[in-house]
Amino acid sequence: MNINIIAVGKVRENYIKEGIEEFIKRLTPHAKVNIIEVADESAPESLSEGEREMVKIKEGERILKKIKENDYVVALDSKGKKLTSEEFAQRIKMIQLGGNSTIDFIIGGSNGLCGKVLKRANFVLSFSLMTFPHQLMRLILLEQVYRAFRIINNYPYHK
């Protein structure tokens, strides 16, 4: 299985980079993980709603260029469906059994994802009602993907 994490911006903090590298290494027996970064749109803190939407659209266009036609796309969005770790593992298993060899997980920038990206998604996932920094979300996502593979394969990590 191929797992692409398509994310807006770069990870700057070393502790996050180290955690990401650790979970990519742990996932090696289960999947090939690629981190695909797209440039974030520079914008001041105080944006009008219209300006914020334009930022999301520009970042969304960059994201959509990285998605292949047959990829299964999971967009991370606070308005998405919340799953337990077991439900998340089951969803990954069903994606595999459905013949999909690539899952693209999409992490937007600080303004979120545009409607076109959400529309392209096969599934919209929320990790919490809380807001997380988009850089940290990569690490949280990778840990949950690793946990999912442990659950799928009946390994004890999940307990």
* CATH code (residue 121): 3.40.1280.10
Q: Output the known binding site for S-adenosyl-L-methionine.
A: 76, 108, 127-132
Domain containing residue 87 = 2-158
30-64 pLDDT, tens digit per residue, is 999 999 999 998 877 788 888 889 999 999 999 99
Q: How far apart are CA 62 and CA 37, in angstroms?
A: 9
Q: Output the known binding site.
A: 76, 108, 127-132
What average pLDDT score do residues 55-82 get? 96
97-127 pLDDT, tens digit per residue, is 998 999 999 999 988 999 999 999 999 999 9
Q: How far apart are CA 4 and CA 143, in angstroms?
A: 14
Q: Are 5 and 36 in contact (CB under 8 A)?
A: yes
118-155 pLDDT, tens digit per residue, is 999 999 999 998 888 888 999 999 999 999 999 999 99
| Structural Rg of the chain based on CA atoms | 15
Q: How far apart are CA 65 and CA 87, in angstroms?
A: 29
Cα–Cα distances (Å) from 112 to 13, 99, 103, 104, in that order, read 20, 29, 20, 16
Cα–Cα distances (Å) from 115 to 43, 112, 153, in that order, read 19, 10, 35
What local confidence, expressed as pLDDT, does residue 159 receive? 58
Count the domains in the chain: 1
**Banded model confidence at residue 156, pLDDT cuts 50, 70, 90:** confident
Angle between helices 134-152 and 85-97 (to 10 degrees): 70
